[in-house]
Chain A
Amino acid sequence: MSERDTSGPGGRQGAEEVGGLEASALQLAAQVRSGARSAVSVVEDHLAGIAAGDGEIHAFNHVMEEEALAAASRVDERLAAGEDPGPLAGVPVALKDNLCTRGVPTTCSSRILEGWLPPYDATVVARLAASGAIAIGKANLDEFAMGSSTEHSAFGPTRNPHDTGRVPGGSSGGSAAAVAAGFAPLGLGSDTGGSVRLPAAYCGVVGMKPTYGAVSRYGLIAFASSLDQIGPFGRTVADAAALLEVVAGHDPLDSTSIDAPAPAVSAVLDAGVEGLRIGLVTELSGEGTDPDVRRRVAAAAEALEAAGAKVEDVSVPATTLGLSAYYLIAPAEASSNLARYDGVRYGLRVDAPTNGGMNVASRTAGFGDEVKRRIMLGTYALSAGYYDAYYGKAQQVRTLIIRDFAAAYERFDLLLSPTAPTTAFPFGAKTADPLSMYLTDVCTIPSNLAGDPAISVPYGLGDDGMPIGVQLLGPALSEPTLFRAAAVLEHSMAPTGDGGPAAGRERTT
């Protein structure tokens, strides 16, 4: 753990007082499975860490104290009975609060879902439970995952554990901050335009967006259905890989789920990058990218070359159109996905003399400004007479992006870029100017439009002492190759410890 981390927010220090919170998920699982520690003690330690530190960080909307302890007891009972408690036995996981949890508040950080208790678990939540992992709390997010800073939460922002004056990134800021602060070794987020990778970069943890369809979306409250994908957070590449393996794989409840088993990523982590061809995307690290970010990306390229990969510049021209296309497609789908919050069946209802009046009053009171902005954008983009010029055109751009990526992948196995043009920014820096906020996702959005996987790996600190993430991108189903390269980057940071991945980086595979 770096000096920077120990001088960080009080929450972090609080976590350290409890002890054991630096252990990786795989270490904890190994301890629990071997009987060296009980799952209950692991959960109790993490709950104590949250109690001590989350007052300041506000990573969680809701801590699942009772449920987590009960689940940990069940893991311990299974062990005592000689049963296999699963590969992630006793490991706490922070769940983004747009993942449905049966009987546990699920809010999307929105007033409109106040009081709603889902009657079912998301597929990923059920799979976590089956793996022995312990859902420890519902993590904060930008309302309905719309944002890049977690400032657009109806319940207040999450603070970056590395500097509580700065945002953790978004929209999965709560999950990223929880993992960075040691509240849980693992987190799940959702990534629609970079919402896992950006906060991972800002908080100095590993964050991954799988191939579209690799992880079931059943029970993920939709923002933009054709772009949404659930992804793992971990403090180590190996932890993120283990979490992906548990939640991925075909799900008959999601029609867009890929009919294939979870990718085997843990087994290849030590395979290295010898002979891999890696392209440095010129369009994603040009103007607007901070010099210190560029330096860290160059360092990553060198590290990959040192490990035997061949790195060259590559142009993927259509990626420059990604942001514009994204801000038509995502709001269009959102405008339809969020129509159901009408006050009729669940969540907030503000009474009015007519049904239509009640719909309007409920939505007016229940949604925040950013959500309203995107609903209006999307409604406009789909309107008769505008569809072809906006939504239709954006879909054509999406096809261009897919085509340009495909061309690049004819020559390269993977691509490399910054995860974000800058490090985490101070609170309020971009809230007045939505466009500048949208620009923070410029490097991550193209993968969502293409449906391809990408991973953000912490790779040192910026001039401001804040973490910098580098992004590896690959073609559909290239998760094993991505994780191999991510492991090489992580390893290249380990010996000198110049601000690289913080705690728990010890490899256990």
Chain B
Amino acid sequence: MTFLTTDAGVGTIVEPFTVTDPSGQAWELVVGLEVHCELATATKIFCGCANEFGSEPNTNVCPVCLGLPGSLPVLNRQVVELAMRLGRALRCRVEPSVFHRKNYFYPDMPKDYQVSQYDRPINVDGELELPDGSVVGIERAHLEEDTGKSTHVGGGGRIHDALHSLVDYNRAGVPLVEIVGRPHIRTPEQARAYVQELRAVLLATGASDAKMEEGSMRVDANVSMRRAGTDELGTRCEIKNLNSTRSLVRAIEYEARRQVDLLSAGERIVQQTRHWDEAEGRTHTLRSKEEADDYRYFPEPDLVPLEPAAEWVAAVDAALPPLPAARRRALSDRTGAEQATAALVVERDLDALVLTAVDAGGDPDRLLTRAANDLAAADVGALTAPAFAAVSRMEADGALTATQAKVVLAELVAGGGDPQAIAAARGFEAMGEDELAAAVDAAVASDPAAWQRFVDGDPKVAGLFVGKVMKATSGKADGKAVNALLRQRAAG
């Protein structure tokens, strides 16, 4: 379902991805994403069956999720809780909502209709702030039930000429939230960032485990092109079967070029659903909107309208964890971290460690650099914030070189301990200025020809001399200090 409205991007302006046609006309990209996520509840949306991936086929089923005659749905409270948690994290309003029936025949859909929210969704009008500061509007994030899973045997895996088909209804009735983004995305990379950020929010709120590879997070991209600099939205195509962010980026780029080829030839884009073929690196027509089903939506009479009490919404708000955008901002405010560094540190879930280390007297710059470059995501082993702070301090004071600091850090992660003691045991003593100067002079003298090239302005040669100094000092020298001395000598 798509609800494209206005094209009012907010936040940092992203330079659009453009494709220039042979006539020299530039076309710019407009993307809106629809993301389906399975909610991480213990049980399904309308019955008590386990919501569990990977069970034996057709074992997590009952009369309700099999749609047996006479069965009736009862809404799972935890589904509403998680949907609201996600909605509030996406800065949506929670509104009174209604479930509808979306009617169409398909063998993996037990009732031959899907219960879904239609014109009265639970979450409306939110936004998602990306690490680059751009903000993508969220039209709605509504609830619906998942279908079963078909496996078509023979005939190329499609239902049309399959020999027979198998259906697993374990997934039928798994709760889904569909997050409909506004067409505010301007580049394939921004689309990737949106999906990654959404995933971070889903994980932070506990709403979903958001695994694209297991299908618990499924992304469809609405792609259109328009003449660069214009505001009107072009006719879009919806791309399905995007199983990774890599596919998403490739598919958008492919589709942008395909549409520009048509547009520049004077043809019209036909609104349609297209299937991304990862192996071929292209999209195929699935069905065009003209031949689309009439879903005959009407309010689901077996369920009552959903009107969460204001107190419930307030409780959800109060329990929301810190979200990635706020964490990035807090990190930058406290440490002066650049946007990209803050994004990386928060993505790795290391911001709390860095901030605690700052409080313990650590050097903000060194902490950020080490967290962004030298620590694995989330798992920092035995490393404590005070130890991390001490290492950063030693590095900032020149007691440890960058290389030495990394070694000490790795040892702290592996087994903990006292940073001073580890440095001493390794013989990492600060190198005196005179000692370093002597080593640099010796290196310069060892290769006059190369030195002349450096003096003449070839910066690439610097690495050669840094290497010589490192070798002569067994890695004790600080690369930055060596570089500074080299520049000083060349200038002098």
Show the binding face of A for B, using Cβ within 8 Å: 98-100, 106, 108, 113, 116, 118-120, 122, 217-222, 224-226, 252-256, 332-333, 335-336, 339-340, 342, 344-346, 354-356, 359, 379, 382-384, 387, 391
Interface of B is mostly: loop
CB contact under 8 A between A118 and B68, given known A336-B103, A339-B111: yes
**Bound-complex Cα distance A219 to B63 (A):** 10
List B contacts of A226 (CB < 8 A): 301
**Residue numbers in B under 8 Å from A355 (CB-CB):** 107, 159, 165
Residues of chain B with a CB closer than 8 A to A221's CB: 69-70
Min CB distance B283 to A, Å, is 25
Q: How far is the CB of A25 from chain B (nearest CB, A)?
A: 25
User: Does the CB pair A379–B72 fall under 8 Å?
Assistant: no
Given the contacts A339-B105, A339-B112, A355-B159, A379 and B296 also touching, CB distance less than 8 Å: yes
For the complex, is B454 an interface residue (Cβ under 8 Å from A)? Answer: no
- How far is B113's CA from A345's CA once the two chains are assembled, in angstroms? 15
**How many pairs, one residue from A and one from B, have CB atoms within 8 Å of each other in the complex?**
99
Among B63, B67, B73, B112, which residue has its beta carbon within 8 angstroms of that of A120?
B63
Q: Assuming A119-B63, A339-B113, A355-B165, is B298 touching A382 (CB within 8 A)? A: yes
A340 and B75 in contact, given A332-B298, A345-B110 (Cβ under 8 angstroms): no
Is A218 a contact of B296 with CB atoms below 8 Å?
Answer: no
Q: Are B69 and A225 in contact (CB under 8 A)?
A: no
The 0/1 profile, CB within 8 Å of A marked 1, for residues 66-107 of chain B is 111111111100000000000000000000000001010101
Partner among B70, B75, B112, B165 whose Cβ is within 8 Å of the Cβ of A219: B70
Residue of A nearest to B150 (CB): A355
In the bound complex, residues from chain A placing their C-beta under 8 Å from that of B72 are 217-218, 253-255
Q: A339-B112, A355-B107, A355-B165 are in contact. Are A255 and B302 (CB under 8 A)?
A: yes
Complex Cα–Cα for A254 and B301 (A): 11
Chain B residues in the interface with A (C-beta under 8 A): 63, 66-75, 101, 103, 105, 107, 110-113, 159-160, 165, 167, 294, 296-298, 301-304
B165 engages A333 (CB within 8 Å): no
Contact of B69 among A100, A256, A336 (CB under 8 A): A100
User: CA of A448 to CA of B71 in the docked complex: distance in angstroms?
Assistant: 21
Whether A220 pairs with B113 at a CB distance below 8 angstroms is no
Shortest Cβ distance from A121 into chain B, in angstroms? 10
List, in ascending order, chain A residues with CB within 8 A of B304's CB. 255-256
Is the CB–CB distance between A255 and B73 below 8 Å? yes
Q: Which of A113, A220, A252, A383 contacts B74, CB < 8 Å?
A: A252
Picked from A106, A225, A346, the residue with its CB within 8 Å of the CB of B302 is A225
Cβ-closest 8 pairs across A and B: A339-B112, A382-B296, A226-B301, A225-B301, A221-B69, A219-B70, A100-B70, A221-B70
A-B contact pairs, 20 of them (CB 8 A): A116-B69, A118-B63, A118-B70, A119-B68, A120-B63, A120-B68, A252-B74, A255-B72, A256-B301, A332-B298, A336-B296, A339-B103, A339-B105, A339-B112, A340-B67, A340-B69, A344-B107, A355-B159, A355-B165, A382-B296
Once the chains bind, are A118 and B69 in contact (CB under 8 Å)? yes
Q: Give the contacting residue for B301; candidates A119, A333, A379; CB below 8 A.
A: A333
Roughly how many angstroms separate A119 CA and B294 CA in the complex, as a whole number? 33
Q: In the bound complex, what is the Cα–Cα distance between A113 and B74 (angstroms)?
A: 25
Point out the residues of chain B lying under 8 angstroms from A340, CB to CB. 67, 69, 110-112
> For residue A119, which residues in chain B have a CB less than 8 angstroms away from its CB?
63, 68
Q: In the complex, which of the residues B68, B111, B159 has the most CB atoms of chain A within 10 Å of its own CB atom? A: B68
A116: which B residues are within 8 A, CB to CB? 69
Give the chain A neighbours of B160 by CB distance below 8 A: 354
Inter-chain contact A387/B298, CB cutoff 8 Å: yes
Residue ID in chain B nearest A106 by CB atoms: B69
Q: A118-B70, A119-B63, A339-B113 are in contact. List 15 more A-B contacts (CB 8 A).
A: A119-B68, A226-B301, A253-B74, A254-B74, A255-B72, A255-B74, A255-B304, A333-B301, A336-B103, A355-B107, A355-B165, A359-B105, A382-B296, A383-B294, A391-B298
* Complexed CA–CA distance, A220 and B303 (Å): 15
In the assembled complex, the Cα of A285 lies from the Cα of B66 at a distance in Å of 45
Could you tell me the distance in whole angstroms from the C-beta of B405 to the nearest C-beta in chain A? 61
- The docked-state distance in angstroms from the alpha carbon of A72 to that of B103 is 44
| A383 and B69 contacting across the interface, CB-CB below 8 Å | no
Docked Cα-Cα span, A217 to B69, in Å, equals 11
Instruction: State in angstroms the CA–CA spacing of A379 and B113 once bound together.
Output: 13
Q: Within the complex, what minimum Cβ distance (angstroms) separates B295 from chain A?
A: 8
Residues of A within 8 A of B103 (CB): 335-336, 339, 382
CA distance A262 to B73 in the complex (A): 22
Most buried by B among A113, A221, A382: A382
B67–chain A nearest beta-carbon distance, Å: 5
Contact for B70 among A220, A359, A382, A387, CB less than 8 A: A220
Q: What's the Cα separation between A113 and B107 when bound, in Å? A: 17
Chain A, residue nearest B162 (CB): A355
Which of B69, B70, B75, B107 has its CB near the most chain A CB atoms (within 10 A)? B69
Min CB gap A447→B, angstroms: 17
Chain A residue nearest to B294 (CB atoms) is: A384
Q: Tell me the complex Cα distance, A86–B103, Å.
A: 44
**For the complex, what is the distance from the CA of A120 to the CA of B71, rounded to whole Å?**
9
CB distance from A465 to the nearest CB of B (A): 38
Query: Which of A116, A119, A339 counts the most B-chain CB atoms under 10 A from its CB?
Result: A339
In Å, the complex CA distance between A111 and B301 comes to 26
